[in-house]
Amino acid sequence: MKKLVITVLAVLFISPAAMANDWGLGVKLGAGENDPKTLKEGHSKNGGELDKNYGYLGLEAFHEWTLDNEANKLGLKAGLDVYGENTLKVGTSKFEETTYSFPISVYYKRDNGVKNISWFAGAGATILHSKIEAGENSIRKTKVFPHVTVGAEYRFTRVFALGLDARYNFSAKVKKEGVVLSDRSGFGAALTGRFYF
């Protein structure tokens, strides 16, 4: 039984290393611009406790195609970013703003291989969904806006790389019926662990 377990583990770890190239998954920890305008206005008028959260967690999946040589690649990635909540507490009332997004990017990558730093630059569109809740009541809206992205990563092995990604969101203000649900316009950056297979 022990030999079988060792064999299965060897196949699971060696096979991806042997064919690591085109596909991958990433896990992100980042921070970005955050302007909860409606909650800030409520705070300035009514006082209370305003808690703004600039962080986000994300996942991404990507595929890269080799162009004229191994170093030049064209990539496509799609992800899910879950932003930290913004909350306003006024007396016994609590207002919560939650936001998540689906960024999709096309990028050029200069892939310098294992034990080297590679860089990329690209652009795309983000689907942003925001919601403000106050007890049983809620208001929500979805918006699509463009972004540009740049970054670099260090490839430790054929399977794993650690990257730093920066993104600029254009016109990422979500507004409905005069209420600004969320405004994520501006810069954001994330530390990303990528697994290639």
Query: Where do the domains of the chain lie, and which CATH numbers do they carry?
Result: 22-196 (2.40.160.20)
Q: What is the DSSP string of the chain?
A: -HHHHHHHHHHHHHHHHHH-SSEEEEEEEEEE----HHHHHHHHHH--EEE---EEEEEEEEEEEE-SSTTEEEEEEEEEEEEPPEEEEETTEEEEEEEEEEEEEEEEEE---TTSEEEEEEEEEEEEEEEEEETTEEEEEEEEEEEEEEEEEEESSSSEEEEEEEEEESS-EEEETTEEEEE--EEEEEEEEEEE-
pLDDT of residue 21: 63
Sorting pLDDT into bands at 50, 70 and 90, what band is 20? Answer: very low
Q: Tell me how many degrees the CA angle 31-37-42 measures, rounded to the nearest 5.
A: 125
Q: Which residues of 146-181 are buried (b: 16+ CB within 10 A; e: fewer)?
A: ebebebbbebeebbbbebebbbbbeebbbeeeeebb
pLDDT of residue 48: 84
Dihedrals phi, psi of 42, to nearest 5 degrees: -65, -35
Sorting pLDDT into bands at 50, 70 and 90, what band is 1? Answer: very low
The Cα 129–Cα 62 span in angstroms is 22
Q: To the nearest whole percent, how much of the chain has pLDDT over 90?
A: 79
Q: Share the mean pLDDT of the chain.
A: 90
Write the pLDDT tens digit of every residue in 141-167: 999 999 999 999 999 999 999 999 999
pLDDT of residue 70: 84
Q: How many CB atoms lie within 10 A of CB 82?
A: 14
Q: Quickly tell me which residue has 């972004």 as its tokens.
A: 147
pLDDT of residue 150: 98
pLDDT of residue 185: 96
Write the pLDDT tens digit of every residue in 117-144: 999 999 999 999 999 998 888 999 999 9
The Cα 164–Cα 148 span in angstroms is 14
Write the pLDDT tens digit of every residue in 74-92: 999 999 999 999 999 998 8
Rounded mean pLDDT, 44-55: 90
